[in-house]
Every structure is written in C-alpha cells, then in structure tokens.
C-alpha cells in the first residue's frame, strides 16, 4: 500500500470532480494545478499550488504549454526505490507527485460537432496525454486517473482505503490510462489520415457490450461499438450476437430501397421482401415469399409502422423489428410480447470500410455501396426488357447484392419469389430458387432473374427460360458471355449487364 500525499490535477470536464477533491483534501493531499482546474479547486475552498509557482515558469503560447516541465514530470517519473532519483529530486527542488488526475480535451466531440479544422487541431491535448503516459509508466509509485469515467470508482477506493492504493490497483489504472491514450491517438490519426492515406489499420472502441454468448452458446461474445448511435431500443430482451449480424444485413438491405418496402431477414439473407404503395401490402407480399422461414426472423422496413400493419405482423413470432418509427397504437400492439425487441432506427449510414478477421490478420475492403440504376444497365440482347421488367430487374439486383453467394434471386412485381443462397454452383442456386418458388405457389412466368456474378455457361439461362423467366440481370464479364447471350436472343429473353459483381461471403 502506498499513501497518496500529493496530486496533480488537470482536467477538461469537472463534473463529479468535487467529491474526489474533497476526499483527497480530507486525507491531507496537496494539490498542484493550473488554469481553469486551479480556479475550480480554489472555488471549492480548497488550497492548491499553481504549477507556475512550482516550475517558476508561466503558462505560454495561449495555454499550449503549461505542465510540460522537468519539475512536473520529474516528480511523476521519479522511482521511489531508486536512491539516485531521490537525490536528483532533492537537488532540483522537485516534489514527488503520487497521483495524477487528467481529463483530456474533447477531440472526438469537437470533431463530431462539425468544428473548423483550426478548432479541431486546438483540441489535440499535448500536456494531458503526456501526463497520462508518464504516470502510467511509473504505476509502481504513482496513481493515474486518466478520464472522468474513473472518478467514481476511484472515489470508492479512496474512501475504503483512506487515500492509499495497492500495486495491483495502480497497475489497473495504468492499463486504463493506456486504453484512454491509445483511443485518443487513434481518433486523431483517423482525422489526420483522411488526406495523408497512410496504409495503417487503427481500430479502437470504448463501448463494449458483453453478449449472452457468441454465435453458439459455448462461445463468448462481445460487441464493440455504440448501438445507441444506430437505433433506440424501445422494448425487448438483450440483443444477441446473431441478432446483430442479422440487423447489420437488414439495415444494409433496406437502405437500398426508396419505395415503401418491408423485408424479413433470416441468417443474414432476405427470405421475403417486397415494395408496395402501402406498408400493409408490402408486409403481405414479403411474408408470402417464405412464410416458413419468416418464423423467428428479423423484420425491417423503411416506413413508419401503422396500426393495420402492426396487427398483421403481431400474429407472427419474430425476434426483432426495426423501423424509422411507430404510430402509438402500433407500438402498443407490438410491445405486448415483452421479449420482442422493438428498435427505432436512427441511421443506416455506416463506415465506408468493412473488416473481418482472416488467418492471423484482418481483411479490409470498401463497403459495397454500388446500387445500379436504369441508366447504368447495359443491354446485352436484342430483346429489351419492358418498363415493368426493368423495375423488377433493379429490385432483384438490390436483393442479390445483399444475399450470400453463390446466389440467384427470382422476382416478379417487386416481390421476392425465391432465392437460392450460399450454393457452391450457380445452377444449384437457381434450382433451389425454383423449387422454393413453386413450393409457395408462385408462377414464374414473366418473372425476372438476378445473379450476383456472371454465368460461365448458358445452363442457368436455359433453365430459367424453361420455367418462364423473361428477363435476366447479371454483371457480365465471362469469356463465355456470348453463349448465354446467344441463347437469350434465340428465345426472346431480355438480358442486361451491370458491369458490377456483388459477391457476398
């Protein structure tokens, strides 16, 4: 146990600091401080020594340099069990500093508020971050409180141990200090690197949500990130690891649709999706796509949930619903089941890059933000798709983009009839889709087909044509494109190329 006798306090946020200071003062701790923090301490009626008195040097450069001085850092970094360190402190009149309390300039908050570049740069803390690192390095003798988030836990410790700490406790706060400093530096790096383009990966999050388990019950799982930025949870149980994966897929999918659309997600894929003039109609059509898989699924829409739709979907067991908002009566209907998770979506716009672990590293790629339009379609056949077919082709292409590869999607009337997902061959994906569509009573005559990648052989268009499919959308780019195109031309099937592949693994 080491008793705290002196403390350097330099903080930006002062909320919650007063109780900490009062407890330290009660235990005879001497305060060193500067600027606004010094004024705050003395406003509480507590004595404090100005850092400028300690260093015999004023704060300079409009406050940019205040604590960066040997008389400050010497007192923090001196090793109490090294005789020569103690002799130097005596020689130069440097007091030992046993506790450092720092709360850094709010760089991330300033950036998020849309401040000017000059204001953002001024919120890069120099002295504070240096104090944090110095005190954390010398945790054997010094306690570091690196942010206001630790005020309360440290206060409890002070009261219980009368301003004394153990090595293990100081080491814990040192680890917390490097978590704070590394996160702070990561945010600054990302800002400065927007134009520099230095090829380095830095990912940091202070928001850890421990999940019930991972993908399976025998696996531990956590989510790092601030879910409150994405949605407001209005009702229901804890969101699971698999729920979060499905939500990610659901929000990415619905973000590609502007018309009133409803989708049902199961294992990251849409088992039902439709666009209609009203939400109630969209729900009916989406559910019809696969009412069996819809059980226990994730529901998502881009439209406010009305009472009529709520009554319909309330008859189905599902885990989560995500929507921009809910009419009062519809929310009352949906929340009748206490475990049902009801989310009010705040944003569907996410970071421009995606990451996943692979081998002993991390894969990074641009997010697939390409959504093809009518203007970007390249006619590949002499038969041109009708206006209705073109709308269905674009609808199908959006769905196939968000479905696991290899994938084939069948659509008619802006309704998913069926999809073949995650197959090892494209023709198997088509066969799967055809079987499912027929199982649920759909007539494929006049339907369209979308493929996430090109057709290496004409077998898919041959099979699709035999089932009555009249239009096809695919990236194109195979050395054997001509085989599929020739078959379509001979059988009056329309085909368009997009030039964009949408693999999803």
| Residue 482 CA: distances (Å) to CA of 380, 384, 454, 462, 493 | 9, 17, 11, 13, 14
Phi, psi dihedral angles at 408 (to 5 degrees): -130, 135
Question: Is 267 an active-site residue?
Answer: yes
Catalytic residue among 13, 50, 137, 335: 137
Location of structure tokens 């100081």? 170
Phi, psi dihedral angles at 262 (to 5 degrees): -125, 140
Location of structure tokens 């009554």? 311
C-alpha–C-alpha distance, residues 264 and 272, integer Å: 5
C-alpha–C-alpha distance, residues 454 and 460, integer Å: 10
| 32 strand-pairing partners | 8, 49
Q: State the burial class of residue 43 (Cβ atoms within 10 Å of its Cβ: 0-12, 13-18, 19+).
A: exposed
**Two tokens at 153?**
């836990």
Mind giving me the DSSP string for 390-441? Answer: HHHHHHHHHHHHTSPSS-EEEESSSBEEEEE-S-SSHHHHHHHHHHHHHHTT
Measured distance between the N- and C-terminal CA atoms of the chain, rounded to whole angstroms: 54
Considering only CA atoms, which of 478, 483, 436 is closest in space to residue 461? 483
| 224 strand-pairing partners | 208
C-alpha–C-alpha distance, residues 24 and 162, integer Å: 9
Q: What is the largest CA-CA distance in the chain?
A: 97
Question: Is 137 an active-site residue?
Answer: yes
C-alpha–C-alpha distance, residues 289 and 399, integer Å: 13
The 3-class secondary structure across 454-487, one letter per residue, is CCCCCHHHHHHHHCCCCEEEECCCCCCHHHHHHH
C-alpha–C-alpha distance, residues 24 and 213, integer Å: 41
Q: How many C-alpha atoms does 158 have within 13 Å on its Cβ side?
A: 23
Q: Are 41 and 9 in contact (CB under 8 A)?
A: yes
Catalytic residue among 190, 233, 237, 267: 267
Q: Are 132 and 177 in contact (CB under 8 A)?
A: yes
Q: How many helices (H) and strands (E) does the chain have?
A: 18, 23
> Catalytic positions, please?
137, 267
């Amino acid at each position: 146990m080491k008793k705290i006798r002196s403390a350097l306090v330099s903080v930006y946020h002062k909320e919650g600091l007063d109780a900490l200071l009062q407890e330290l003062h009660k235990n005879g701790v001497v305060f060193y401080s500067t600027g606004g923090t010094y004024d705050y301490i003395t406003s509480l009626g507590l004595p404090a020594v100005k850092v400028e008195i300690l260093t015999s040097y004023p704060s300079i450069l409009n406050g940019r340099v205040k604590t960066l001085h040997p008389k400050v850092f010497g007192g923090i970094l001196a090793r109490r069990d090294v005789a020569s360190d103690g002799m130097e402190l005596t020689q130069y009149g440097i007091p030992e500093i046993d506790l450092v309390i720092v709360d850094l300039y709010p760089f991330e908050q300033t950036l998020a508020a849309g401040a000017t570049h000059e204001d953002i740069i001024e919120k890069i803390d120099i002295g504070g971050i240096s104090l944090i690192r110095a005190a954390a390095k010398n945790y054997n003798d010094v306690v570091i409180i690196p942010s206001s988030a630790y005020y309360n836990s440290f206060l409890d410790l002070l009261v219980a141990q009368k301003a004394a700490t153990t090595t293990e406790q100081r080491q814990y706060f040192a680890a917390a200090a490097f978590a704070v400093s590394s996160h702070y530096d990561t945010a600054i790096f990302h800002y400065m690197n927007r134009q520099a383009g230095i090829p380095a990966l830095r990912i940091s999050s202070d928001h850890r949500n421990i999940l019930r388990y991972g993908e399976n019950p025998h696996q531990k799982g956590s989510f790092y990130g601030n879910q409150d930025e994405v949605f407001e949870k209005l009702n229901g149980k804890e969101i699971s690891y698999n729920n979060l994966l499905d939500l990610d897929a659901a929000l990415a999918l619905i973000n590609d649709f502007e018309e009133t659309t409803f989708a049902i997600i199961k294992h990251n894929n849409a088992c039902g999706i439709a666009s209609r003039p009203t939400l109630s109609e969209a729900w009916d059509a989406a559910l019809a796509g696969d009412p069996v898989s819809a059980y226990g699924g994730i529901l998502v829409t881009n439209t406010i949930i009305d009472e009529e739709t709520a009554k319909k979907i309330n008859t189905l067991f599902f885990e989560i619903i995500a929507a921009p908002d809910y009419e009062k009566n519809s929310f009352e209907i949906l929340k009748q089941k206490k475990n049902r998770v009801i989310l009010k979506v705040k944003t569907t716009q996410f970071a421009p890059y995606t990451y996943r672990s692979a081998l002993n590293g991390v894969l990074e790629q641009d997010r697939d933000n390409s959504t093809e339009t009518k203007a970007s379609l390249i006619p590949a056949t002499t038969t041109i798709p009708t206006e209705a077919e073109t709308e269905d082709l674009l609808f199908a292409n959006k769905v196939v983009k968000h479905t696991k590869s290899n994938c084939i999607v069948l659509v008619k009337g802006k309704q998913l009839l069926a999809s073949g997902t995650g197959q090892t061959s494209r023709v198997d994906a088509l066969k799967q889709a055809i079987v499912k569509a027929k199982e649920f009573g759909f007539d494929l005559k006049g339907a369209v087909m979308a493929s996430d990648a090109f057709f290496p052989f004409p077998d898919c268009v041959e099979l699709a044509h035999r089932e009555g499919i009249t239009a096809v959308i695919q990236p194109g780019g195979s050395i054997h494109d001509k085989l599929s195109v020739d078959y379509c031309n001979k059988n009056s099937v329309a085909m368009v190329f997009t030039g964009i592949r949408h693999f999803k693994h």
